[in-house]
Structure 1
Amino acid sequence: MGKKIFRTLALLIVPFVASLFIRLIYLSNKKRFHSPESISDEPTIFACWHGELLMLPYLYSRYRKTPHAKVLISSHFDGMLISKTIKYFGLGTIEGSTNRNATRVLMQGIRALKDGYDIGITPDGPKGPRHEVADGIIAMAQKAKAKIVLVEMKPTKFWQLNSWDKFTIPKPFGTLNYYSTSPIDVSDMDMQEAKKVMKEGLLKHEI
């Protein structure tokens, strides 16, 4: 019972506090966008490493003034916290992972893209291995005929957790460097070639 009460309270409090913290971090840092000025209005997949996802909503809002996206989030408790947090930024979620319920998640992602939603995904999530691209994002892009924008978020001052993904939390009063690519078409690539292109692109500015 104690664990259930703790989780209920956490789901009520943590997402709101986390959303305020993310806004504070963003406002207290300088921002530099090393990115195209605009991208197509077509439904697009935005991809970043799991360890860099904290500030992703602000790169997305650069291209979509009105958010219309669903983010693939783990169905575990930590995923529920993330899901409720990003709702404060107008983003929806698809619960599951490329490891568990992979087919269902893939189909939901394809359906969302065809319904006009953008998709946010961490190619090495939810459990790693770190910086290794799973098959799911490539299969989703090819089946939905959607292009992929690769996103890196590199703060000049940060904390880094001792977790599998080396989760990065920017500190205040530094600079947030956002890097993103023009939309990449993987429709004519085989799986290994597409994964190689994505991995190299997401590691281009590795700290």
Structure 2
Amino acid sequence: MDLRPRALFGAFGREAAGALAWGYITLCWRTTRWRVERAPGVEAALAGAEGFLVAVWHNRLAFSALAAPEGRRSWAMISANRDGDVIAALTRRFGVSLIRGSSADPGKPGKDKQGRAAAVATVRAVREGGVVAIAVDGPRGPRLRVKPGVAALSALTSAQVVPFAISTRRGRRAGSWDGFLIPVPFDRGVMLAGEPIAPRGAGPEAVAAHRAAVEAALTALTLRADALVGREPEPAADDRGAWDEGGLDDRPDARPDAK
């Protein structure tokens, strides 16, 4: 543990920010009129014992932890950086377990972001019947473009991917790379869980097709959620490249041992 004053103050500040965010989001949650819809396949998945993955956009994370299903242990994959520390401090307060990590940043060679450990932890959580939520375009985008990591993990574990969309009518969009949706109290919102998407195989073409299917389903679900609350849809990023930035490393030799 780093005991230098600057490091300790930074850690305290992030915990304090997480606590303040928890209080504010709880207020917004309790004063918002929610419409919640789950596809029949989601109800079946929740009734079973198998774990599954949940795909959500990075900019709709504010209420995601509050939507964790009762009776199932839930996990959230959160990047291992300082911004992720604040989200982690918030998420813990909602009773959601954490998986920390993302792939290495190409601009910062030699910095370990615990990508392999995060993948291994996700595999274990799913195989133990857990529900693991992943911000599929985070932590640096491209915005509203699903990276291959969730599809690779789905193929590795044979777990289904449930697309999950949240929208609120009056939420404010931040000036961040993802246009993070900041909730406001006394609003109207929707939470939609779409039909689970099964993996199509473990080969590169099958994983690519699975990624595309998840992206199409999550995009359509988000458009519907925005339409239901009367919110203008937001454009996705044009750049589909740099899939390795911020997501799991999907090279075959970097995948965790499935055994």
> Is TM-score (shorter-chain normalized) higher than 0.5?
yes
Note closer, same or farther for the CA distance 1:186–1:97 as it changes in structure 2 (3 Å cut): same
Matched, 1:78 2:83: yes
Distance 1:17 1:174 in 2: 20
- Shift in CA distance, 181/158, structure 1 to aligned 2, threshold 3 Å: same
The residue that corresponds to 2:141 in the other structure is: 128
CA distance in 2: counterparts of 1:35 and 1:76, whole angstroms: 33
What is the Cα deviation at residue 67 of structure 1? 4.7
1:85-121 alpha-carbon deviations (Å, 9 max, x no partner):
1111111111111454433322221122112221110
The partner residue of 2:12 within 9, 14, 22 is: 9
Q: Per residue, is there more strand in 1 or in 2?
A: 1
Deviates more, 1:71-80 or 1:183-192: 183-192
Equivalent of residue 31 in structure 1, options 29, 34, 40? 34
The correspondence of residues 49-128 of structure 1 with structure 2, limited to 5 A, is 49-60=57-68, 64-99=69-104, 100-128=113-141
Identity rate, percent: 23
**SS, match of residue 72 in structure 1:** strand
Q: Equivalent of 2:208, from 192, 198, 204?
A: 192
Is the CA contact (8 Å cut-off) linking 1:98 and 1:134 kept in structure 2?
A: no
Question: CA contact under 8 A between 1:39 and 1:183: conserved in structure 2?
Answer: no
Structure 2 distance, partners of 1:153, 1:96, is 24
Does the 8 A contact of 1:98 with 1:136 survive in 2? Answer: no
Identify the residue that residue 172 of structure 1 maps to in structure 2: 185
After TM superposition, give the deviation of residue 17 of structure 1 in Å.
1.6
1:85 partner SS: helix
How far did residue 187 of structure 1 move?
3.3
Distance 2:121 2:26 in 1: 30
2:85 & 2:199 partners in 1: Cα distance? Answer: 31
Q: 2:219 aligns with which of 191, 203, 207?
A: 203
CA RMSD, 1 decimal: 1.8
Q: Which has the larger radius of gyration?
A: 2
SS at match of 2:61: helix
Deviates more, 1:64-73 or 1:86-95: 64-73
1:139 is matched with which residue? 152
List alignment gaps of at least 5 residues for structure 2. 105-112, 224-232, 234-259
Structure 1 range deviating more: 43-52 or 5-14: 5-14
